[in-house]
Structure 1
Amino acid sequence: MDPTAVEGKNDKQQGEITHEEGSSVVTEVVPPSTDQTLSHVEAMSQVQSVMANLITEDPLLSDLPTQVTLEEVNSCIALEYGQAMVVNVRRADDEVMAVVVTQNATLLDLKHAIKRYITLRQTRNGGKQHISWKYIWKRYWLYFNSQKLSDDRKTLKQYDIRNKDEVTFIKRLKDRG
């Protein structure tokens, strides 16, 4: 192939330029030049619209929310590779929350994951934005198989918690001194 014939040659498709780099031929997609500029808000709106469309139409991504965060995507990837597990957390009103944590997570990591899960859900649903987690952890224990989970430094494996196990919020009883 004659290098001078390839170098700088415009392809018939608009926005593609083919040129030679070293021993290979490279085709670059160049966006068509337009005089239209978008504000940041308009550009983000278009990106979110395209992302929402991709997520809803793709069978592998359809179970993700349309306003997906990077953390949620990373959690799903970690689940697929077996690097994370789902812990089902049952609230007092019998709502079950599927919280994703790493395989070697501690009880403290689980508490942080619960906090992220609730905060993200509240933000998406337009609910109460501020929750006093200090109050929550003072008033409630997490229990697994009738065992109180009290040491934040212990791993979930040390408590014998495995993938898809259920942990329950139980209101603390007052200590009688």
Structure 2
Amino acid sequence: MEAKAKSEEGEVGLGLGYNSGSVKKARLQSTLAALLEDPVLSDVPKKPTLADVDTLISLELGSAMKISIVKMDGTAFDVAVLNTATVKDLKLAINKKINEMEQSKMGHRQISWRHVWANVCLAHHNEKLIDERAALQDFGIRNNSQVHFVHCVASRETRKHSRRRKHRFFHGLSKRSSYPTDAKS
């Protein structure tokens, strides 16, 4: 009996019951969930990464900017990117934000961003943001700027096929031209 009491005392003394890893993790998750419900922290994502937190801190310090993205239906949402961000960085932030919004509304849903960016591009003051390596500041994008989604068919300069060119490729593959022997019979 004395040995059992000592072993229980040892477990409590070592903190195995209260300070175990799973208890600490659960306590951290509940504290984080309570913090994220605070209206002051409404711009923090539900499952923030370290990069998300760094960007939001940079936004408060003035080394990042908040950009309003206007969708084609007229609705808008905000994303935060660093002041040195490129068009590619903005696209990645948009991808992440829309995926988070879709997850919260509809559960698991996969968006083909390759297809989206092949047919739609971003524009600021009627100037299309085509070059992904260009800095956003080169286009005059600053804190609280608006960027719009617009329909975009890629040109020859970008070395991507436009829709018409894709269709012209398949246009020549008809049954009559593919099988000359059928035309003779």
TM score, norm. by length of structure 2 = 0.65
Structure showing the higher strand proportion among its residues? 1
Question: 2:28 matched to which residue of 1?
Answer: 47
Q: Any unmatched runs of 5+ in structure 1?
A: 1-30
Q: Post-superposition shift, 1:39? A: 7.0
Question: Amino acid of the residue matched to residue 93 of structure 1?
Answer: D
1:158 match = 138
Shift of 1:63: 4.8
**Cα distance in 1 between the residues matched to 2:90 and 2:109:** 20
Q: Given the two structures, how large is their TM-score scaled by the length of structure 1?
A: 0.68
SS for the counterpart of 1:71 is: helix
Pair 1:73 & 2:42 matched: no
Give me the identity figure in percent.
Answer: 32
One-letter code aligned to 1:163: N
Deviation at 1:138, TM superposition (A): 0.6
Q: Number of residue pairs matched?
A: 145
Deviations 1:35-63 (A, max 9, x none): 426574x6533321122223445x75355
Larger radius of gyration: 2
2:129 maps to 149
List per-residue Cα deviations over 1:68-94 (Å, max 9, x = no partner): 333322121000111110111111122
2:149 to 165, 169, 174: 169
Alignment of 1:13-32 (within 5 A): none
Q: Is the 8 A contact 1:51 1:66 kept in 2?
A: no
Structure with greater proportional helix content: 2
Give the aligned partner of residue 120 of structure 1. 100
Superposed, which structure 2 residues align to 1:88-103 within 5 Å? 88-103=68-83
Residue segments in structure 2 that go unaligned for 5+ positions in a row:
1-11, 154-161, 166-185
